[in-house]
Structure 1
């Protein structure tokens, strides 16, 4: 269904092709298209595109920090650089014309005599959320796509039952999401799970905004549930020694898996993505797709080198996965979740043997090694900031603050003895 929109109070959601009209110097700057670039200076689709211009602040009469305006208007729904450039060119032309004819972004109006008309296509909520989910899947990893798909389908079922799934997308309100989250909570989901549903819906609603199907992603404004998820605690040195001795006898292949994870600081899924061709023993490099980067290069330290040499990887097909249920590199057609579950189930035997609680898991090895390295740096005389700086390329956290929070969470960044600073005797 289409409807005519009379543009006199707000900027259009879709703008027609309009030729740029040259004008004398006015209260606004030239309208430009912002094209984000990658590290090689090439246009990238990984960050938002938008058109922007400056408009003289009516209170100060100057171009200042508040005088810059930018608009996306659906440009980021296009999936190629060429399409976004074409759309951006049209938007630049349209806004140039609007400014020429009196559009004032502070007042968000244009003169009635120069109003434009254009077509807006109404879509149902089902159409909008389905399209948004499809668009988002092109940028998600397989594991993310599967988990979000599951949660969004739960929400779609709820919307169908409560008969708002075929309402116009713009009629969906914050209350619809709040009621769904309450429903999920009543069904027995934990606070963490409820927050995961909220995050999944918010991500898809952001795409609905990009697609110009809704005005604002109000889901991100919904308060999160307070939760205290069980974290993986680091093992003590004695615990690691006991686990090593047990696995050397009962599951040496799982021990190799844990060693690769700990010495490389890769995550479970990242270790399981490794193929034989990703292991370069000559240059001592692992190539992997990680959580935060498309491609990551990881240096193979001495301890890791010994493990990988022992596995005789050169005997296997380069496309074989390094770790599989076969006990050696092979093809393994399974989802990443199924793969991590396989090694998780094998580790449960270790937990049962040593009576380890929920707070211990495979990630505990990664945390143990991080803590061990940090304490070694501190013991060698480095300050906390020096130790953090040296650890960044090892753990590959994105920021100093992120690594600090990580170590603080593991309860290891304790202050030095400050007893000499206290003069009160209680």
Structure 2
């Protein structure tokens, strides 16, 4: 018996708790860099560097096959990294892949387990496409278009920062905060908050589908963002604008009258088709914000201007760039934006004329818009009814006219537009 073997036997007999270290189920992930040592990159010639970049770079590792017990090579992880043309870009992305792969291997990831955590290693591009595809079937067309637009802008930002082909788990709170701060600097707190909400929604889909462990966006605070206030028009301003539009753009005036007299939101007016106007029953049907559809009466003051509709196809949109009912391939938001810009041209003209000293015109700032006509006429009706009715009676009747869903919603709206003003209180000051 050899001396070394004798010593080992003695050790084995005296150390009762000696146990073999279990075999590792995986090798530590490594990066293949085109067959050259990346630490010596600067020592290679330009030709050698270019030859290396023309090859595929990837992360590789082996995992123990539970059936054979042997370590076996797993599919290479490229994740689009070879689209990048520089060593720095490829190494930055592949190192992120390698680090995150090692983390999930330590947490128990098993490529042979069909119920494993493979979703955790989706790239940013793959994860975003996955979540958008799910949300497309859960949202209305108009909402999805806005949602997708914000997510695509965020995706573009991540691409510029080199994240597009990294693991989705590499997108941390700091990079999201940097983006939200950029949105805040270039737009408003309200847009920043809306962007945060959409990103949170996207990440919630990823969490629900086990693509990420948790949705950290919910921990990012919502900023205070005072709501945009549309100011009501005075009687003089209202009469002058109506008179001007009657002469220069009667179609836009009719659009505004649906807002003024039927208390529709501009986007609801944009959804109206000829078939939605029932001239015989004096009613209209519109897709509303707070429910699928709603039915409203058309007041006589508006009815007398709609007889021309009988000459058009029922499927035609009531308001279009042609100035007459016709087909119009566009989203609701784009239709609304078209009329918003059209009215802005009127506002700009009024403001410019006022600056030039023309007393027939007046400045109209950002606080005035098409929505302001709705505020103006609701205030007008409220104050007229209050002359003979109690506040509760007035609001009860007004609720049927405005289309608000609840009394609380109407009361909040009336407070926001200052519909109720106090009587003179001079005697209280004396």
Provide TM-score, normalisation by structure 2.
Answer: 0.64
> What is the rounded CA distance, in whole Å, between the counterparts of 2:266 and 2:367 in structure 1?
17
Seen in structure 2, the aligned counterparts of structure 1 residues 304 and 224 have a Cα distance that, compared at 3 Å, is same
CA apart distance, 1:198 = 1.3
Higher helix share: 2
Q: Which has the higher contact order (CA 8 A, sep 6+)?
A: 1
Q: Deviations over 1:174-217 (max 9, x none)?
A: 3332122123334x222222222112212322333333433544
> What is the rounded CA distance, in whole Å, between the counterparts of 1:204 and 1:396 in structure 2?
32
Seen in structure 2, the aligned counterparts of structure 1 residues 376 and 212 have a Cα distance that, compared at 3 Å, is farther
1:225-244 paired onto structure 2 within 5 Å: 225-228=223-226, 230-244=228-242
Which of 213, 222, 225 is equivalent to 1:224?
222
CA apart distance, 1:391 = 2.2
| Corresponding residue for residue 395 of structure 1 | 402
Which of 358, 382, 402 is equivalent to 1:374?
382
CA apart distance, 1:138 = 2.8
1:310-329 paired onto structure 2 within 5 Å: 312-329=308-325
The runs of at least 4 aligned residues of structure 1 exceeding 6 Å deviation read 417-420
Q: Is the 8 A contact 1:279 1:286 kept in 2?
A: yes
Seen in structure 2, the aligned counterparts of structure 1 residues 416 and 344 have a Cα distance that, compared at 3 Å, is same
| Corresponding residue for residue 300 of structure 1 | 298
- Structure 1 stretch displaced more, 161-170 or 357-366: 161-170
Q: What secondary structure, in the 3-state scheme, does the structure 2 residue paired with 1:122 have? A: helix
- Structure 1 stretch displaced more, 188-197 or 355-364: 188-197
| Corresponding residue for residue 343 of structure 2 | 347
Seen in structure 2, the aligned counterparts of structure 1 residues 264 and 134 have a Cα distance that, compared at 3 Å, is farther
> What is the rounded CA distance, in whole Å, between the counterparts of 1:259 and 1:139 in structure 2?
34
Q: What secondary structure, in the 3-state scheme, does the structure 2 residue paired with 1:379 have? A: coil
CA apart distance, 1:301 = 2.0
| Corresponding residue for residue 409 of structure 1 | 416
Q: Is the 8 A contact 1:230 1:358 kept in 2?
A: no
Q: What secondary structure, in the 3-state scheme, does the structure 1 residue paired with 2:305 have? A: helix
Which of 114, 119, 127 is equivalent to 1:122?
119
Q: Is the 8 A contact 1:142 1:336 kept in 2?
A: no
CA apart distance, 1:259 = 0.7
Q: Is the 8 A contact 1:234 1:367 kept in 2?
A: yes
CA apart distance, 1:417 = 6.3
> What is the rounded CA distance, in whole Å, between the counterparts of 1:408 and 1:380 in structure 2?
20
Seen in structure 2, the aligned counterparts of structure 1 residues 220 and 298 have a Cα distance that, compared at 3 Å, is farther
CA apart distance, 1:327 = 1.9
CA apart distance, 1:410 = 1.4
> What is the rounded CA distance, in whole Å, between the counterparts of 1:121 and 1:209 in structure 2?
13
* Residue ranges of structure 2 left out of the alignment (5+ in a row): 1-24, 26-112, 351-360
CA apart distance, 1:271 = 0.9
CA apart distance, 1:363 = 0.6
Q: Is the 8 A contact 2:117 2:210 kept in 1?
A: no
Q: Deviations over 1:17-64 (max 9, x none)?
A: xxxxxxxxxxxxxxxxxxxxxxxxxxxxxxxxxxxxxxxxxxxxxxxx
- Structure 1 stretch displaced more, 197-206 or 360-369: 197-206
| Corresponding residue for residue 372 of structure 2 | 364
Larger radius of gyration: 2
Q: What secondary structure, in the 3-state scheme, does the structure 1 residue paired with 2:381 have? A: helix
| Corresponding residue for residue 161 of structure 1 | 160
Which of 189, 210, 214 is equivalent to 1:191?
189
CA apart distance, 1:359 = 0.7
> What is the rounded CA distance, in whole Å, between the counterparts of 1:150 and 1:362 in structure 2?
25
2:150 is the counterpart of 1:151? yes
Seen in structure 2, the aligned counterparts of structure 1 residues 305 and 149 have a Cα distance that, compared at 3 Å, is same
| Corresponding residue for residue 281 of structure 2 | 283
